[in-house]
C-alpha cells in the first residue's frame, strides 16, 4: 500500500509518527503507533463485547422490567438498526472532522448510553438508549480503522489490523462468558455498567496518545441528500432482514421493504454521480480488490455469524449447558482467532492477502461442513475440533478483507472505507441469520410432522403444530406442564433430532457460501491505490 500526505491537526507541539504522514517518528506517547493501537483496541473492545454480552442479559431484563418477548427483541434490533444504518455516514464524519475527535466522541457517547441503560427502570428507556449506543458505536468503529490506517506504515498495517481483529474476535466470543458471570453473580445492569470504566480508560488514553491525521484533500462539504438516501435504503434493507422471520419471506410486506431498499440504493447511486463531494465516491468500486473485499466480508459474515447463531441454541438447549458453559465450549474458536489474527497479519504482509484469504475461507467451509455432522451425542472433543478450525479460518479473513478494503481506498476516504467494512459485516451477519433461519424454519416445518407421527405422539392441532415448530427451531422441546415423563422424553428426542436436521442443513448452506467466498478471495490484492483520490468523485 502506498502512502499519502496527512496533516496533524491535534495541536501545537505534537509530532506525527511515521511514514504515512511523511514526518519524523513520534517522541513519547503522542502518536506512537503501538500505543495508538492499544487505545483504539480498548474502545473497539467495548463495542464488540456489547454485541454478544447483552444477549445473555435479555431474559433477566425481561423478568425485571416486565417486558414482552417482542420488546426484548427490540433491545437487539434497535442497537443493530442504529449501528448498521449509521456506519458509513459516521466514517465520513471522521474523514471530514478528524478520526481522533470522532473516536473520542463515540467512546464518551457509548459509555454514557451504557450507564444510562443500567439506570433505566423501564424497557422503553432501555430501547431508546440502545439506539444511542448504536449511533455512538458507529462513530467509534470506522474512526478506529481510520486512525490505524493513518498511523501505521504499509509494512506494519496488516499486523496492526491483525491485533485489532484479534480484539474484536476475542471480545465477541467472550461476551457470553462474561455476560453469564455478571448476570449470575451480580445483576443485568452490570452488563452495561462495565462499559463505563472501559470507556473512561479509552478516553484517558485517547486524550494522551491519539494524534489526528487528516488527508490534505479531506472532504470539505457534507452530502446531506446522499446521507438521507443511503440511510433510508439501509434502514429498509436491515428492517426487512430483521422482520423476515416474523413476516415470512413470502409476505408482501417483506418484499415491499426489500424493493424500497433497492430503489433507495439506485437513487443514492444516481445522486452520487451528480454531487461535487459525494458521501461514497462510486469510483471507489472501480477497484476490483476493494469491491471483492466488501463482498468477501459479507459472505464471511453470512457463513460465520449466520452459522454460529444456531450453535448457541445447540449447546444450551440441546446439550443443556448454561450460558457460561456454552461460552467455555466456544473457547477453541476464540483462542484460534486470538492466536491466528496477528499471525495472519504477518503472513499477509509477506505473501499478500489472496492466498491467506482463499485458504481461510476454505478452512471455514470445511469447519461449517464439520459442524453439519454434530448431533445430540457429539462430545466436546469433536465440537472443539470444528470450532478451532473455524477460528483458524476466520482469522486471516477478518484481517485480510479489512486491509483490502481500507488499504485500497485513498487516505481521505479511510473512514468511509472503515464504515463500508463494518457495514458489510453487519449486513452479512443479518442476512446470514435471516437466510439460514429461513432454511432452518423450512426444514423443521417439513420434518417435524413426520417425526412427531413416527414417534407415536398424539396428533397436534394446527395452532399447536405452529407453536411446536417455533420452539424446535431454537432447540427447545415443546413439553407442556403435566406431560407424563415417557411422553416428555419422546417429545424431547423428536424435537432435538428435528433441530439437528435443520442445523445440519443450515451449516451446509453456510459451507456453500464459504466456497463461493474462496473464489471471491482470488480477486483480492494488497492495497495499491491510496493516492488515487483525485477523480474518484464521479464515474
Three-state DSSP class for 531? coil
Number of domains in the chain: 3
Choose one of 193, 214, 235: the last residue of a domain: 214
Give CA–CA dist 190/9, Å, rounded. Answer: 37
Residue 467 has pLDDT above 60, yes or no: yes
**Mean pLDDT score, 119-147:** 88
Pair (138, 252) in one structural domain:
no
184 and 265 together in one domain = no
Q: Tens digits of per-residue pLDDT, 134-187? A: 899 888 888 888 888 778 776 777 778 778 777 877 777 677 778 778 887 888
Taking a C-beta distance cutoff of 8 angstroms, is the pair 296, 357 a contact?
A: yes
Quick check: 29 pLDDT over 50? yes
Cα separation, 108 vs 206, in Å, equals 11
* Residue 123 counted as domain residue: yes
Q: Is residue 47 part of a domain?
A: yes
**Environment class of residue 535 by beta-carbon count within 10 Å: exposed (0-12), middle (13-18) or buried (19+)?**
exposed
Domain check: are 64 and 120 in the same one?
yes
pLDDT in tens, 483-508: 888 888 888 888 899 999 999 999 99
- Tell me how far apart the alpha carbons of residues 55 and 62 are, in angstroms, rounded to a whole number: 11
85-107 per-position pLDDT tens digit? 888 888 888 777 788 888 999 99
pLDDT digits (tens, 9 = 90+) for 298-322: 898 888 876 777 787 888 888 888 7
Question: CATH number for the domain including 168?
Answer: 1.20.1250.20
> Does one domain contain both 149 and 241?
no
In this structure, the answer to whether residues 36 and 84 fall within a common structural domain is yes
pTM of the model: 0.78
Statement to judge: residues 232 and 93 lie in one domain: no
Burial 51-81 (b: 16+ CB within 10 A, else e): bbbbbbbbebbbeebebeeebbebbbbbbbb
Is the residue at 410 inside a domain? no
Write down which residue in 167, 187, 214 finishes a domain.
214
Quick one: CA dihedral 35, 134, 433, 46, positive or negative? positive
**Does residue 434 belong to any structural domain of this protein?**
no
Three cell numbers, residue 111? 459509555
30 and 169 together in one domain = yes
Q: Which of 214, 232, 263 is the last residue of a domain?
A: 214
Residue with cell 441503560: 117
Task: Please answer whether residues 110 and 195 qualify as being in contact, where contact means their C-beta atoms are separated by less than 8 angstroms.
Answer: yes
User: In sequence order, which residues have a C-beta less than 8 Å from that of residue 129 and are 6 or more positions away?
Assistant: 113, 114, 116, 117, 120
The verdict on residue 150 lying in a domain is yes
Same domain? 181 vs 135: yes
Q: Is residue 481 one of the residues assigned to a domain?
A: yes
Angle 403-36-344 from CA coordinates, rounded to 5° = 35
Residue 160 lies in a domain: yes
- Who wins on pLDDT, 171 or 217? 171
216, 5 Cβ separation under 8 angstroms:
yes
Range of the domain at 231: 224-274
Question: Which residues, including other chains, have CB under 8 Å from residue 86's CB and lie 6 or more apart?
Answer: 134, 135, 138, 139, 231
Same domain flag for 89 and 58: yes
User: Which parts of 361-486 are beta strand (E)?
Assistant: none
Q: How far apart are CA 244 and CA 225, in angstroms?
A: 28
Share of the chain above pLDDT 90, in %: 15
Question: Are the C-beta atoms of residues 192 and 114 closer than 8 Å to each other?
Answer: yes
Q: How confident is the model over 332-375, as pLDDT tens digits? A: 887 888 888 888 878 888 888 889 999 999 999 999 999 999 98
Same domain, 195 and 95: yes
Same domain, 92 and 40: yes
Q: Is residue 66 part of a domain?
A: yes
Same domain, 45 and 168: yes
Amino acid at each position: 500500500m502506498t502512502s499519502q500526505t496527512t496533516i496533524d491537526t491535534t495541536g501545537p507541539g505534537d509530532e506525527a509518527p511515521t511514514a504515512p504522514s511523511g514526518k519524523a517518528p513520534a517522541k513519547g506517547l503522542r502518536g506512537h503507533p503501538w500505543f495508538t493501537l492499544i487505545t483504539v483496541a480498548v474502545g473497539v473492545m467495548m463495542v464488540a463485547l456489547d454485541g454478544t454480552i447483552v444477549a445473555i442479559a435479555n431474559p433477566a431484563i425481561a423478568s425485571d422490567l416486565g417486558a414482552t418477548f417482542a420488546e426484548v427483541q427490540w433491545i437487539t434490533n434497535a442497537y443493530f438498526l442504529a449501528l448498521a444504518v449509521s456506519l458509513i455516514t459516521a466514517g465520513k464524519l471522521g474523514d471530514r472532522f478528524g478520526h481522533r475527535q470522532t473516536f473520542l466522541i463515540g467512546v464518551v457517547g457509548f459509555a454514557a448510553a451504557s450507564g444510562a441503560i443500567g439506570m433505566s427502570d423501564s424497557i422503553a428507556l432501555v430501547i431508546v438508549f440502545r439506539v444511542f449506543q448504536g449511533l455512538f458505536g458507529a462513530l467509534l468503529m470506522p474512526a478506529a480503522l481510520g486512525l490505524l490506517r493513518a498511523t501505521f506504515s504499509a509494512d506494519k498495517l496488516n499486523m496492526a489490523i491483525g491485533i485489532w481483529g484479534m480484539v474484536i474476535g476475542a471480545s465477541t466470543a467472550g461476551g457470553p462468558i462474561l455476560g453469564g458471570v455478571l448476570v449470575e453473580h451480580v445483576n443485568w445492569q452490570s452488563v452495561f455498567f462495565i462499559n463505563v470504566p472501559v470507556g473512561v480508560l479509552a478516553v484517558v488514553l485517547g486524550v494522551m496518545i491519539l494524534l489526528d491525521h487528516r488527508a490534505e484533500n479531506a472532504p470539505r462539504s457534507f452530502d446531506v441528500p446522499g446521507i438521507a438516501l443511503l440511510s433510508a435504503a439501509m434502514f429498509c434493507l436491515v428492517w426487512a432482514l430483521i422482520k423476515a422471520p416474523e413476516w415470512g419471506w413470502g409476505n408482501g410486506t417483506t418484499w415491499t421493504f426489500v424493493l424500497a431498499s433497492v430503489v433507495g440504493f439506485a437513487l443514492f447511486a444516481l445522486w452520487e454521480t451528480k454531487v461535487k463531494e459525494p458521501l461514497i465516491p462510486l469510483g471507489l468500486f472501480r477497484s476490483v480488490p476493494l469491491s471483492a473485499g466488501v463482498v468477501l466480508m459479507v459472505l464471511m459474515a453470512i457463513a460465520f455469524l449466520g452459522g454460529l447463531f444456531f450453535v448457541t441454541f445447540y449447546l444450551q438447549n440441546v446439550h443443556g449447558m448454561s450460558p457460561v458453559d456454552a461460552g467455555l465450549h466456544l473457547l477453541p474458536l476464540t483462542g484460534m482467532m486470538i492466536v491466528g489474527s496477528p499471525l495472519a497479519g504477518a503472513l499477509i504482509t509477506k505473501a499478500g492477502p489472496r492466498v491467506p484469504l482463499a485458504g481461510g475461507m476454505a478452512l471455514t467451509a470445511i469447519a461449517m461442513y464439520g459442524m453439519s455432522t454434530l448431533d445430540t451425542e457429539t462430545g466436546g472433543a469433536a465440537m472443539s475440533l470444528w470450532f478451532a478450525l473455524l477460528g483458524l479460518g476466520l482469522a486471516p479473513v477478518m484481517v485480510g478483507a479489512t486491509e483490502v478494503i481500507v488499504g485500497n481506498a485513498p487516505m481521505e476516504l479511510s473512514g468511509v472505507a472503515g464504515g463500508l467494512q463494518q457495514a458489510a459485516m453487519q449486513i452479512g451477519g443479518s442476512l446470514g441469520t435471516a437466510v439460514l433461519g429461513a432454511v432452518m424454519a423450512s426444514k423443521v416445518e417439513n420434518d417435524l410432522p413426520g417425526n412427531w407421527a413416527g414417534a407415536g405422539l398424539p396428533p397436534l392441532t394446527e395452532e399447536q403444530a405452529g407453536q411446536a415448530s417455533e420452539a424446535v427451531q431454537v432447540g427447545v422441546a415443546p413439553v407442556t406442564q403435566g406431560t407424563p415423563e415417557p411422553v416428555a422424553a419422546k417429545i424431547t428426542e423428536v424435537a432435538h433430532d428435528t433441530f439437528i436436521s435443520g442445523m445440519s442443513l443450515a451449516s451446509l448452506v453456510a459451507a456453500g457460501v464459504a466456497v463461493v467466498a474462496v473464489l471471491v478471495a482470488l480477486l483480492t490484492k494488497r492495497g495499491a491505490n491510496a493516492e488515487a483520490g483525485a477523480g474518484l468523485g464521479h464515474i
